[in-house]
Structure 1
């Protein structure tokens, strides 16, 4: 999102697979890749808050700052 409000962007993405949304019932599982280069993780936090009440399965959250460390931890 090009300097859009992260909460607004997250809400827009969430609305599509929900009942009444353009892709309602089209997918059994949806994954959003969120690139967040903000110092305070504002973009990732907005997506996490917006989707906090949704059912979830195994998830992994990483940012461009931590992805190499996460890969190292897996061996």
Structure 2
């Protein structure tokens, strides 16, 4: 497992996460792990799945115009 040390955090920020952790009955360290895990970037496969899901749900949405189509409309 990797480790990260973050310096110069605002005390109010740390206290906020400390209180959230206390309410959940977990350590500050676990709360911060959870936040990092929940907000990590999507993998390419996850982005593809999200795109397909969006297109399936909103099939009536028209795709954006291409640059050529925009230019044609300006002429």
Q: TM-score range by the shorter chain?
A: under 0.3
TM norm structure 2: 0.25
Higher RCO (CA-CA < 8 Å; seq separation 6+): 1
Structure number with bigger Rg: 2
